[in-house]
Amino acid sequence: MTDHGETTRKGGEIRNFGTQTYKVVGTRPIRHDGTDKVTGRAVYGGDIRLPGMLYGQILRSPHAHARIQRIDTSRAEALPGVHAVVTAADLPDTTGGRIDLGEGHADTKYMRDNILAGDKVLYRGHAVAGVAAVSLHVAEEALALIDVDYELLEPVIDVETAMKDSAPLLHEGLTTTELNEDTGRKSNIAMHIRHEMGDVQQAFAGAAHVAEAEIRTATVHQGYIEPQNGTASWSEDGQLTIWTSTQGSFTAQKQLATILDIPVSKVRVIPQEIGGGFGGKIPVYVEPVAALLSRKTAHPVKIIMTRADVFESTGPTPGSYVRVKMATDASGKLVASEAHIALEAGAFPGAEIGAAAMCVFSCYDIPHAVVDGYDVVVNKPKSAPYRAPGATQVTWPVEKVMDDLARQLGKDPVAFRLDNAAAEGTRRVDGIVYPRIGGRECLEVARDSDHYQSELSGPYRGRGMAIGYWFNIGLKSAVTASVNADGTVHLVEGSTDIGGTRTSVAMQFAETLGLDAADIYPSVGDTSAIGYTDVTGGSRVTYATGWAAYEAAEDVKRQMIERAAILWESSADQVEYSDGVFKTRDGSKSADFKQLAQKLEDTGGPVVGRATVHPDTGVGGSFAVNIVDVEVDPDTGKVDILRFTVIQDAGKAIHPSYVEGQMQGGSVQGIGWALNEEYAYTEEGRMANSTFLDYRMPTSLDLPMIETIIVEVPNPGHPYGVRGVGEASIAPPPAAVAAAVENATGTQLNVLPLRPDRIINAMEDSIPAAAG
Amino acid sequence: MRDFEYTAPSTLREAVKLLSEKGEAARVLAGGTDLIVQLRARRFQPERVVDVKNIPEVNELSVSPRKGLRIGAAVPCHRIYADEGVKEQFAGLTDASMIIGGIQIQGRASLGGNLCNASPSADSIPALIAYGAEAEVIGPDGKRKIAVEDFCTGPGSNALKPGEMLVAIRMPLPKNNSGGHYLRFIPRNEMDIAVVGAGAFVELGGRSKTRVFKSARIALAAVAPTPLLVAEAGASLEGQPVTEETIAAAAAIAQEAARPISDMRGPAEYRRHLVGVLTKRALIGAVKRANGEFVPNAVQSNGHPVYQLS
C-alpha cells in the first residue's frame, strides 16, 4: 500500500501569474479519505443501522397541481407492522420568517409545505404522508392504503406560461415583490429585481453594432449518484439526532430546528460521507419526516429516496427564459447591455435570480447596463442550487450575442472578448467593483493554447468558445487542531467534504506549520464536535475553511513556541519556528515539531489550536473558459465532442488534481446540460423520464478526456491566494458547445438541450429554399 | 415488492406444470434484467416466479448447417456475441446483442427475455425478424412455432398463452452472398434505449460489379406498438440492382410503414426521419457484409461507423 505523501500522478498544465511556490500547497498527495472510499469501508447515510430502527417510506403526489380534500390514514395504520403515519398535520404551524441557507434561503411556511404538503400538492412527487414500519416492504404496502382525495387543478409547467396574468395561481397568498416592495398583486411571479448602471437607452441609440438573443433552457438535475437519505432518532428527553448526507450539517440543523420548531441545541446532525451534492444536498427533504416518525414511534427511523424520488422530489436547477441585447461602438468596445432573466423557482419561490443577475454581464466591462430578473413559481419540484446556480442559464445568451457582435466586427471571438474583458477596477451592473481577477489571463491562455491554435477541418465540424464566471462566497468556518504526542495533528473541521476538501484544508494547515500533508488527520465534525460552519457551497471550503486551518495552525505555532520556551527556560520571543524546527534565537537549543510534541505533557498538557473565520470581502471570483470542437452527424443530428479544453483561474491550486477534477466535473455536467439532459414533461405535468436510463447524462463513452489548464492569478484576499474552483466550470459549456454546433452546421440554435431532433430541424430550416 | 413463490424446475415438463397451475399469476425468470426491475416497479405482482435457467434446453446455443442457429431462451447476450459461429454467420445478431444494456447486463440478459418482454424498442427483435427467426414455444398443449414478427402483440405483451413458455429461437443458416446488420439511434454512445432501430438482411446475386438483391428483409424498432417487419420495403428490392437509389426507395417505404409516437425519447416526426436514415444504413451495412466487407457495429466503432456503398 502506498503511504500518504507525494505521488507522481501526471497533471495538466498550470500557468502561473504571480503565485508563490510552496512545500505542500501545489503538490498532489493522496487523499486522506481515499483508501476507505476505494475499499468500500467509508460509511454513507445508507449504511446506518441502529437498534430498533424502523424503515420509512413517503407517499408522493401523482399529480402536478391539486387541492388535498381529505387524507385518511386509518387503513395504513391498521396494517400489521406499521408503527406510525404522519402528515402535514404533525408539523408545527407557527408562522415564521425566512432562514438563510448560505447558498439560497427559504421561507418557513414554504419549507414545511415542501416537507409534507399542506392544503395543496404543487408538483408530481410532492410528499403527502410518511409511514414507519418494520420493513421497507411493509411501509411500501402501507402507502397504497393511504386514501387521499384530490381536486385536480390545471398545472403550470413553464416560466413563460406562469408569468401570464391568465395563468392558474400556485399560491393564493403569493404576491409579487417588485424592486423590494410588495405590490399586493397576486401572481406566480414571486419577485422582480433590477440592477441598472448608466444610461442604457442612450447608449444603445448611439451604438454601432447591436445583437440580441432569446434563449430557453430546460430543467436539469445535479445527478449525484447517492440518493438523499436520513435517519432520525428522537429521544425521550427531546434530543433529536440525525444521520444524513448533507452539504452542511449546521445548515441541516438550522432547517430541522425551524421546520420542527425546536431549539438548534436540541438537534445534532452527524454528517455522513456524501455521494455527490453539487448544491442539491443543501435543502433537507426526508430528514424532518424521519424525525416526526421517530418522535411518534419512539424508534429510530430511516428513509432513503429512490432515484425517481430524487428526480421528482428534490431540487433540480431552474428552467429559464432569457433575453439579452448588447451593443458596441464602431471600434468594438461594448457600450450597452440589457438582460431579461426569468427563472423557474419550482413550486415555491427562491430561484437563484440574484446570482443570475450578478453573473450575467460579469465577464465584461460595460458602462451602461440593465438587468431585470424574475423569480417565478411553476408546478415542478422546488429548485435547489446546482453548481454556480443561475450562471449557466445566463452565460449562453450573453456568449451567443458576443459571438454575433464579433462576427459583425470581423474579429476573432477571443480577441473581441479580450478587448472587453472585465479587470481590476471594473464595476459590475450589480455594483461590485472587481479586485484583482483572472478573466483576462484565462482568455489569453485560451488564445495561446495548443487547442485554440490547432487547425480544425472536415465537414460538419465546428469550434466554439465561451467564458463564464462565478463569484464564490466566504461565510463562516471553524477548525480545531489537536497535537498528538507523535507529532501528528488531528484536525477537525465543520465543512462536509464533497470535493476532496479534507485534504485541501489539511494541506494548508500542514504548509503553515511546515509539516507533511500525511501528518495531518482531517475529519469532519458533527454539530456537537466543532464550531458553527456554513454550508459546503459557493466554492467556499478550500478558501474559507482553508483559511481557518491556516489560522488554527498559526495558533498551534504560537502555543508550541511557548512550550519550547518553557522547556528551554527561555521566553517565547526568543524562540522562532521555521521549516518545521523550533530554535532559540541564539541557536543553542533546537527541536523539530515531532520532538517538541513529545514534550507537551511535561510543559503544560495538550496543545489544541483553534480558529474561526468569517471572510466577507476578499472572496475571489473565478472565471472559466472553454474551447470545444464538435462533429455533427448531418443525417441524425447527433453531436460528438471531439476535443474539449477548460481553462480556469484557481488563484492558487492547493491540490492541482482536485482543481482539475472540479474543472472536468463541471465541464461534463455542462456538456450534459448542453446536449441531452432535460426533465421531459407530459401534458399533465408529470416527469416522463425520472430514471438514469431516460434522463440522458453523458457517459464516459460520450466524452473525450477533458483537457485542463489551471490559471493562477493569486487572490489577494487569502493567505495562499486561493479562489474557489468548484463552480465556474459549469457556466460556459452550453455556450461553447452551442457555438461549436452552430459553427459545424451553419445554423442558429436557441433552446437547450441541443437535442438531435432540434439540430435536424434547424439544419432543415437553414437550407436555402431551392430556386423556382 | 410483494413476496412471491420462487421455483427453479429442471425440466420443461415441470416448468410448464408450474406455469399452468398459476396461469397469469406466474412469470418466467431467465436473466431477470427486465422482470426484477418490473417487480420492483410493481408492474407485475406474480404469485410464482419460475426460474428456467436450470433447464438444459433453454441454455443451449448451437449452429449447424442442417438445423441452422438455435438459441436457448435463457442464453445470455455475452454467450451469443462471443460465439464464433454466430459472429461469422449472424453478424446482425452480434450487433444487437452487444448493445443491450451494458457489460454487466449482457452477462445475464437473454435474447429470449428480450423477445418475451416485447418492448417496441427491443434491439434484438428487428435483427431476429430480419434473419427470419422463429420462436419455439412449449405449453400444456405441446410445442408450437411462432414467427418472431408475429410474436409481439403490443407493448409488453406477446403471443404466449397462460402456461406457455419460450424454449428457443431458431433461424436458418444464411446462404452465400448474404449479410445482416442491425443498428439503432441513441443520442449517447451507450446505455440508452433505441429512439429508432433498424435491422436488415439481404441476399445478393449478380456479379461483383453489378450486384442485385435476390431478397431482403427489413425490420424496425421503436416506431410502432411492436417491432415491425416492413415486408414491402424488402420486397421492393427483389431483383433490383444494389444502388443508392434502390436503397433510398426501400427506406422511403419503411418511413411510410412506420407509425411512431412522440415521447421523452424523441418526437414522432424525427423518428420517421430516422427510419429513413437507419434503413439506408442497415441495408448498406448488410450489403457490405454480403460482399465480405467488415462493417463495425456500434461498439466496435464507438458510434462512428461509415455508411457508404463502396
Q: Which residues of A touch B193 (CB under 8 A)?
A: 693-694
Q: Are A312 and A305 in contact (CB under 8 A)?
A: no
Whether the per-residue pLDDT at A10 is higher than 90: the answer is no
Helix (H) or strand (E) holding A461: strand A461-470
Label residue A768 by pLDDT band (50, 70, 90).
Answer: low
Residue A416 lies in a domain: yes
CA nearest to B280 within chain A: A635
Neighbours of A164 (CB within 10 A): 11
Tens-place pLDDT, residues A36-59:
999 999 999 999 999 999 999 999
Rounded to an integer, what distance in angstroms lies between the CA atom of residue B182 and that of residue B201? 9
Nearest of A286, A297, A293, A259 to residue A91 by alpha carbon: A259
pLDDT at B302 > cutoff 80:
no
Hey, what amino acid is at A180? N
Q: Which tens digits make up the pLDDT trace of B197-222?
A: 999 999 999 987 889 999 999 999 99
Rounded to a whole number of angstroms, the distance from the CA of A759 to the nearest CA of chain B is 11
> Looking at beta carbons, which pairs linking B298-305 to residues 24 or more positions away fall under 8 Å?
B298/B95, B298/B98, B298/B99, B298/B183, B298/B184, B298/B189, B298/B190, B299/B98, B299/B99, B299/B190, B302/A701, B302/B189, B303/A638, B303/A640, B303/A701, B303/B189, B303/B190, B304/A640, B305/B183, B305/B281
Sheet holding A639-649, edge to edge: A13-16, A707-712, A639-649, A622-632, A461-470
For residue B301, give the chain A residue with the closest CA.
A701
Contact of A645 with A709, CB cutoff 8 Å? yes
Position A33 in a domain: no
Q: What is the pLDDT of residue B84?
A: 96
Domain match, A237 and A212 both: no
My answer on whether A716 and A569 are in the same domain is: no
Residue B183 to residue B298: CA distance in whole angstroms: 7
State whether A141 and B1 contact (CB < 8 Å). Answer: no
Domain end point (choices A401, A430, A459): A430
* Residue A626 and residue A752 in one domain: yes
Same fold, B1-119+133-171 and B178-298: no
Give the structural domain span for A608.
477-613
Output the average pLDDT for chain A.
Answer: 95
- Residue whose C-alpha cell reads 498528538 in the numeric block: A484
Residue A628 lies in a domain: yes
C-alpha span between A269 and A765 (Å, rounded)? 56
Do A145 and A163 lie in one domain? The reply is no
* pLDDT tens digits for range B133-163: 999 999 999 999 999 999 999 999 999 999 9
Lookup: cell for B158: 406477446
How far, in Å, CA of B96 to CA of A654, rounded? 48
Residue type, A448: D
Verify that A597 and A683 share a domain, yes or no.
no
Tell me which chain A residue has its CA closest to the CA of residue B274: A636
Q: Flag whether residue A689 sits within 8 Å of chain B, measured between CB atoms.
A: yes
Q: Are B191 and A140 an interchain contact pair (Cβ–Cβ within 8 Å)? A: no
- The residue behind cell 410483494 is B2
Q: State residue A571's pLDDT score.
A: 96
Q: For residues A155 and A61, give the distance between their C-alpha atoms in angstroms, rounded to a whole number.
A: 13
Listed residue (A222, A226, A223) closest to A244, CA to CA? A226
What CA–CA distance (Å, rounded) separates B164 from A611?
Answer: 73
Among chain A residues, the shortest Cα distance to B191 is held by: A693
Inter-chain CB proximity A694 and B264 less than 8 Å: yes
What mean pLDDT do residues A21-30 have?
97
Instruction: Select from A275, A718, A283 the least CA-distant residue to A505.
Output: A718
* Residues of chain B found within 8 Å of residue A675, distances taken between Cβ atoms: 187
User: Please, which residues bridge with residue A645 across strands?
Assistant: A627, A707
Number of domains in chain A: 4
Rounded to a whole number of angstroms, the distance from the CA of A143 to the nearest CA of chain B is: 12
pLDDT for the residue numbered A767: 67
- In order, the DSSP letters of A64-93 are SSEEEEEEE-HHHHHSTTEEEEEEGGGS--
Sign of CA pseudo-dihedral A736, A742, A748, A753: negative
Residue A5 has pLDDT above 80, yes or no: no
* CB pair distance less than 8 Å for A636 and B189: no
Alpha-helical (H) ranges within A306-457 are 307-313, 353-359, 391-409, 413-420, 439-448, 450-453
Helices (H) and strands (E) in chain A, counts: 20, 31
Instruction: Tell me if chain B has a CB within 8 Å of the CB of A138.
Output: no
From A390, A395, A371, select the one nearest A192 (Cα to Cα).
A371
* CA distance, residue B186 to nearest chain A CA (Å): 8
Q: What is the pLDDT of residues A391-435, one digit of tens each?
A: 999 999 999 999 999 999 999 999 999 999 999 999 999 999 999
Write down the domain spans for chain B: 1-119+133-171, 178-298
The average pLDDT across A368-377 equals 98
SS3 (DSSP) at A772: coil
Q: Are residues A297 and A388 in the same domain?
A: no
Q: Is the dihedral of CA B87, B88, B89, B92 positive or negative?
A: positive
Query: Could you tell me if residue A193 is inside a domain?
Result: yes
Side-chain half-sphere of A612: how many Cα atoms within 13 Å? 9
What distances in angstroms separate CA B89 from CA B68, B124, B180, one per listed residue?
10, 16, 9
Q: Cis ω on the peptide bond leading into residue A62 (within 30° of 0)?
A: no
Which residues, in sequence order, are bridge partners of residue B29?
A: B51
Q: Which residues of A touch B270 (CB under 8 A)?
A: 756-757, 760-761
Instruction: Quote the pLDDT of residue A107.
Output: 84
Q: What is the model's pLDDT at position B1? A: 75
Alpha-carbon gap, residue A547 to A722, rounded angstroms: 9
3 state DSSP class of B194 = coil
How many pairs of residues across A and B have Cβ atoms under 8 Å apart?
55
Do residue A149 and residue A162 come from a single domain? Answer: no
- Using pLDDT thresholds of 50, 70 and 90, give the confidence band for residue A8: very low
ipTM of this complex: 0.95
Please determine, for residue A103, whether its predicted confidence score (pLDDT) is greater than 90.
no
Mutate one of B188, B279, B300, B301 to test the A interface: name it (highest A CB count within 10 A). B188
Indicate whether A732 belongs to any domain: yes
CATH of B1-119+133-171 given 3.40.1280.10, 3.30.70.360, 3.90.730.10, 3.30.465.10: 3.30.465.10
Give the pLDDT of residue A772. 34
The per-residue pLDDT for range A586-627, each reduced to its tens digit, is 999 999 999 999 999 999 999 999 999 999 888 999 999 999
> What is the rounded distance in angstroms from the CA atom of residue A587 to the CA atom of residue A757?
76
pLDDT tens across B21-71, in order? 999 999 999 999 999 999 988 899 999 999 999 999 999 999 999 999 999
Out of A304, A337, A362, pick the residue that ends a domain: A304
Eight-class DSSP state of A543: I
**pLDDT tens readout for residues A115-164:** 999 999 999 999 999 999 999 999 999 999 999 999 999 999 999 999 99
Give the three-class secondary structure for B282.
helix
Q: Do A638 and B263 touch (CB under 8 A)?
A: no
Do A282 and A347 have their domain in common? Answer: no
CATH code at position A496: 3.30.365.10
Does residue A4 form part of some domain?
no
DSSP state of B58: G
Q: Which three cell numbers stand for residue A702?
A: 460520450
Give the closest residue to A209 by CA, choosing from A127, A332, A314. A332
Whether A347 and A368 map to the same domain: the answer is yes
Quick check: A1 pLDDT over 60? no
- Which of B40, B100, B189 has the most A C-beta neighbours within 10 Å, making it the best mutation to test the interface with A? B189
- Is residue A31 domain-resident? no
Q: If 0-12 CB within 10 Å is exposed, 13-18 middle and 19+ buried, where does residue A478 land?
A: buried
The CATH number of whichever domain residue A248 belongs to comes to 3.90.1170.50
Q: With contact defined as beta carbons under 8 Å apart, do B63 and B41 qualify?
A: no
Residues sharing a CB contact under 8 Å with residue B142, sequence separation 6 or more, in sequence order: none
The three three-digit cell numbers of residue A299, written as one number: 424508534
Tell me which DSSP letter residue A410 carries.
Answer: T
Helix (H, G, I), strand (E, B) or coil at B106: helix
User: How far is it, in rounded angstroms, from Cα B139 to Cα B160?
Assistant: 9
Pairwise CA distance, residues A452 & A341, whole Å: 31
Same-domain status, A531 and A400: no
Which of A219, A631, A635, A754 is best to mutate for the B interface (most B CBs within 10 A)? A635
Query: What pLDDT does residue B303 have?
Result: 65
Crossing angle of helices A439-448 and A413-420, rounded to 10°? 160
Tell me the H-state helices in A410-487. 413-420, 439-448, 450-453
| CATH number for the domain whose boundaries are B178-298 | 3.30.390.50
Are residues B264 and A689, on separate chains, in Cβ contact within 8 Å? yes
Using the 3D structure, point to which of A265, A282, A304 is the last residue of a domain.
A304
Q: Is the pLDDT reported for residue A174 higher than 80?
A: yes
Look at the alpha carbons of A627, A632, A638, A643 in this order and tell me if their dihedral is positive or negative.
negative
pLDDT digits (tens, 9 = 90+) for B88-128: 999 999 999 999 999 999 999 999 999 999 999 999 999 99
Residue A363 is classified by DSSP as T
**CB-based contact, A397 to chain B, within 8 Å:** no
Cell numbers given for A324: 439579452
Q: For A23-60, give one letter per residue: b (16+ CB within 10 A) or e.
A: ebbbbbbbbbbeeeeeeeeeeebbebeeeebbbbbbbb
The set of cell numbers assigned to A477 is 468556518
| Whether A196 contacts A372, CB under 8 Å | no
Query: What is each CA distance from A375 to A354, A378, A383, A390, B190, in whole angstroms?
Result: 9, 10, 11, 11, 37
**Whether A293 and A350 share a structural domain:** no
The pLDDT of residue B108 is: 97
Instruction: Please report the DSSP string for A306-348 in residue order.
Output: -HHHHHHHS--BPPEEEEEEEEE-TTS-EEEEEEEEEEEEESS
Same domain (yes/no): A170, A135: no
Q: Residue type for A400, please? A: K
CA distance A638 to A759: 8
